[in-house]
Each structure stands twice: as C-alpha cells, then as structure tokens.
Amino acid sequence: MGSSSTYYSLEFLTVVAVSVFLITHANNVVKETGKKDKKCDLYDGRWVLDESYPLYSSKQCPLILEQFNCMGNGRPDHDYEKYRWQPNNCNLPRWDVREFGERMRGKRMMFVGDSLSLNQWQSLACMTMMIQSPPRPRAAYNNPTKSGPLSTIFFPQLNFTLMYMRNALIVDIAKEKGGKVLKLDSVATSAKQWLESDILIFDTWHWWLHTGRKQPWDQIQDGNVIRKDMDRLAAYEKALTTLTKWIDQNVDAKKIKIFFQGVSPDHWNSSDCGTPLTQRCAGQPEPLVKPVEATGKNRANVVLEEVLRKTRKPIHLLDINEMSQFRVDGHPSMYGNPRKIGMDCTHWCLPGVPDVWNELLYATFLGL
C-alpha cells in the first residue's frame, strides 16, 4: 500500500455504560452494561443504516491517511459510512463532541499498538476536530508532530493531547548479536512514556502472525530461553501477561484509565464473504448477515479476555471483535490508494467502523 503522505509511511503504520458499569467480581475486566440493566450489553446488537451518519466527512479531516481515505480514492458507494451500531436491549449514546471535549479537557490520551490502533486514533482525531462550529478542522488542532514511534496531535481549544505510539507487539524488541530479539517479558522501552498519559488504549495481534520478511524479529526470548520461533498464540499470551503484570505493578488506577482494543477482524478469506478468491473483501456494499467466525469468537480475542480476567487493576475491554466481523464492507479493499492497486481487507475506511469503536469508548467515559 503506497501513500502520498510525506509525514507518514507504512513502517509507521503498522470502549460501556451510560451511567453505571459492572465489574465482574472474579476479575477486573470491566464488562459494560446499560443503564441499571445488566441484560443490556452494548456489544450485543446489529448494524443499522442511518442517514444521519457519518459523524464527519473525509474532506473535513485532512489527517486521514491515503490508505484509509476510501472516498478520496474513488470508492463509488457510500453506505459503508452510514452504519451505526444498535444494541438489542438499550441505546448507544450518540457521539457528542462537546461533551467529549469537556471530559478530555487538560488530559493526555495515548493509543499504543499497531496500524489498527492508528486507524482508531485517526478516527478519534477526526471526530474531535468537529468541536469547531461550523467545522474548521485546521483551526481545531495543531499540526501533528512525530518523535520516534510517538505521534502527537494537540487540540488547543481543549488543552487535549491525543497521541499514537507505534508498538505493534507491545513488548520490547532489542537489537543484539543474534539480530532482533523479541523479549516476551519486557515492556521497559516504552513504558515510561505510557505513564505520562491519563488514558491508555492498547492493541496488538496482527503482527504476531507475520512470517518471513515481514516478521519483525529474528529470535524470541522467553525468560532465559532464546529460540528461533514458537507458537504465535502462546507468545501473544505471554506478551499480554507481561503487559498486565506491568499495569498491576505500576499504574495508579485512580489517575490512569486503561483500555484494550479487542482484536479487529480481517476479511481475507473469500469463503467468509462468498466471493471469488481474487475479489476477497472487494465489492461488498453492506454488512454480512452473520459473523465470520462460526462461534462468533476469535481465538486471539478469547486469549485476550482470559488474560485481562486475571488482572488486579481495572482494564476496560473494547470488545469490538464480534460486532466488527459483520463489516466486510468497511475495508478499503482496492480503494486504499488512488491507483486501485493492491487489496486491504485488514484496515478500515474512514469515516467508518473505527468511529463506532470510538462511540463505545465515549459511552464508557460517560459511565466512569
């Protein structure tokens, strides 16, 4: 995927209660519920076409990367921008940028993860720009700055700092004699900067699956054992455990709120979509009628839930996996660049699905 942006490159690319929430007594994973109604699960619902969406247009948000700007790259259909999430037994609070802005005033929020985290970060930045009325995006924020893996957008009207730290695997990778070593038991390299935030939103999974030239490490260190490779799901679980132990030992839950983005599904399997192999997720004008996983459960997302269940500090899970499985129509497909070259069934068009993830994040803030 190419990009016309001179600021970003592909190397850089790479949460719910209205007024109350239920914390399971067996663990500190926050399971969001509706207003005084434990039967109301905001993640149990359906996608509904709503002509009052999207919340912004791609033309109003100059921050959107070419890879996510499907409309700007010539995608002819528009309905993928107009679907909202409707829970079955309650309503998801509609995004109110002024309410969000007041809650974020003077705060620092950091997304940490891979390019799906970047996708959500850019979505929230675009949503926050609409604080200007009428919308004047360029007046709403200072130009993004980049320092190493950290990119920052500052909204002076709100004194709100919105950051994205590129860390696809969450744990450290160190350059040593044997090459790049993935250290499953360390987050020391990035953690100091994490503690400078008021809100942290983590995400990882997709880069654990890469092999060959795309694999970002040469060796894996697990305690005192160094090996060339290991079961990727097991390595992912160990990395998550390292992160949650760090959170339990270092985070003051009264000062820092922790969220974890659930595993974002892809739609590379043509059989899931009923399309030819060469088409994959392309040409899909509407959501699927059922999730792509037979049980609705992605195995990496199940591991994530199990690890978070063991933590002592509260971690709010943005459980977006199953709901997003329906949205085969929301990927850039061939519209990740103006030349219509390549296929992207991993990331999401903006405006689009990540905006709803951020509405769920906003709904959680209303309940905190």
**Boundaries of every domain in the chain:** 10-367
Choosing from 58, 114, 115, 172, the catalytic residue is 115
Residues sharing a CB contact under 8 Å with residue 92, sequence separation 6 or more, in sequence order: 16, 42, 45, 84, 85, 86, 359, 360, 363
Annotated active-site residue 190? The verdict is no
- The H-or-E segment that residue 151 falls in is strand 150-155
Residues sharing a CB contact under 8 Å with residue 9, sequence separation 6 or more, in sequence order: 3
Q: How far is Cα 294 from Cα 269, in angstroms, rounded to an integer? A: 13
Choosing from 267, 316, 331, 347, the catalytic residue is 347
- At residue 5, the pLDDT reads 41
The 10s digit of each residue's pLDDT in 56-91 is 999 999 899 999 999 999 999 999 999 999 999 999
Tokens of 360: 């769920």
- At residue 208, the pLDDT reads 97
Which pTM was predicted?
0.87
The 10s digit of each residue's pLDDT in 172-216 is 999 998 899 999 999 999 898 999 999 999 999 999 999 999 999
- At residue 226, the pLDDT reads 94
Annotated active-site residue 115? The verdict is yes
Annotated active-site residue 267? The verdict is no
Write the burial class of residue 340 (CB in 10 Å: 0-12 exposed, 13-18 middle, 19+ buried). Answer: middle
Choosing from 41, 203, 319, 344, the catalytic residue is 344
Give mean pLDDT in consecutive 10-residue pieces for the chain, a chain of 368 residues: 39 32 35 50 95 95 94 96 96 95 97 98 95 63 82 92 96 93 95 95 97 95 95 98 98 97 90 64 89 75 97 96 95 93 95 98 89
- At residue 8, the pLDDT reads 40
